[in-house]
Amino acid sequence: MRVRALLLVLAVACIGQAQPKDVDGWDQIKWGMTIAETRARYGIEAKPQTYDNWTMLTLKPPRIAGVEMGVEAVAPRASEKISSVRLWSYFGLPSSAPGAGPRDFDAVRNKLIEDYGAPAKEETTHGLNFRLLKTVRWTFPSTSIVLMLEQSGSIPNLGNITLEYSSSPH
C-alpha cells in the first residue's frame, strides 16, 4: 500500500513537470532573430563584434542555478540572424566569479534536467594532460543544447563550463 501511494505521488509530481517538446531559442532570443532585434529587445547599446564570418553580441551575464555565466548571441555575418547562444563560466582564475568551481556544472546540469527533462546523451572522457571532459546533450526539433565541463587533471579547481544552444538545421 505504501509503495502504491509513493508511486501515485511521483506520478502526480511528474505530471506537474511537463517537459517541452521543442525549444526555439534561448531566453528572449528566438532562432532567426537578427542581431539588431536582439539589441533592441535586451536594450543593449554596445555594438556587436565581428570575427571571421561571425557576428557576436555580448549580453548581460545571467545566473543559471545560481551560477553567473557570460553569454553571447552568435550569427553568421552574411545573414545577421542568430543561430546560437553561448554561455560560459571559468573557475580557478583570478577573474573567476567568487566561489565558482567544478560543482557549478552539476548545478547547471540539474537545472537543465528540471527544465528540459533527461538528456539525450551524457559522456565523460579525458583530454590532453588528463583533463576531465564531461558532455551532456539535449536534442529537440529546433535546438540542440550542449553542456560541457573541462577540468584540469593536475589542478582540480581550474577549468570551465560551457553551455551552447544551437538552432538545428531544418
Which stretches of the chain are DSSP H helices?
Answer: 2-16, 35-42, 103-116
Q: What is the pLDDT of residue 19?
A: 73
Is the pLDDT reported for residue 85 higher than 80?
yes
pLDDT tens-digit map of 115-159: 999 999 999 999 887 889 999 999 999 999 999 999 998 887 999
Which stretches of 17-160 are DSSP H helices?
Answer: 35-42, 103-116
Predicted model pTM: 0.85
Residue 156 and residue 56: Cα distance in Å, rounded? 31
Is the pLDDT reported for residue 15 higher than 80?
no
Is the pLDDT reported for residue 106 higher than 80?
yes
Output the average pLDDT for the chain: 89
Query: Average pLDDT, stretch 42-47?
Result: 94
